[in-house]
């Protein structure tokens, strides 16, 4: 049975989110090539991470799983803390309430250097890690 995954990509930092997307897509293709799961995936673009939870909520019945991809970089105001906490809590609530895995590929960093290192598919590959978490749940349930 083919599983459908939706990647929800916040485009606010396009250089960072493009790397997260590349890492995520690579991981999906690896899983398909190893016949771990038959996977179909779509990508939905939103302007920023704050729009990710409502997008997932709107699409929750159409997919088996989601992967949230985006970046929040700390500035000089409390905005970083407020947005990061609100989005992570909303994603967790959606996942538990709907009993669907939602991989958290939203990186929260102190500066652009950290963001690049975490997003780079050849370095920490946080996009790929988020997909791996979702695939593991889909495999086991």
- What are the residue numbers of the active site? 79
Q: Are strands 3-10 and 39-46 parallel, antiparallel or unpaired?
A: parallel
Q: Which stretches of the chain are DSSP H helices?
A: 14-33, 52-59, 79-98, 112-119, 126-140
Residues 6+ apart with CB under 8 A from 55: 8, 44, 46
In DSSP terms, 8 is beta-bridged to 44, 68
Q: Find where tokens 């950290």 sit.
A: 114
């Amino acid at each position: 049975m083919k599983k459908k995954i939706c990647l929800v990509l916040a485009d606010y930092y396009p250089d960072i989110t493009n790397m997260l997307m590349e890492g995520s897509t690579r991981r999906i293709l690896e899983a398909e090539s190893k016949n771990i799961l038959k996977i179909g995936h779509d990508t939905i673009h939103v302007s920023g991470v704050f729009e990710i939870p409502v997008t997932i909520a709107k699409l929750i019945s159409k997919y088996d799983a989601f992967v949230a991809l985006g970046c929040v970089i700390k500035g000089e105001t409390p905005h970083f803390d407020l947005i990061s906490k609100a989005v992570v809590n909303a994603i967790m609530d959606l996942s538990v309430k709907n009993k669907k895995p939602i991989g958290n590929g939203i990186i929260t960093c102190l500066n652009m250097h950290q963001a690049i290192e975490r997003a780079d598919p050849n370095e920490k590959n946080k996009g790929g890690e988020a997909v791996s978490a979702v695939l593991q749940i889909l495999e086991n349930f």
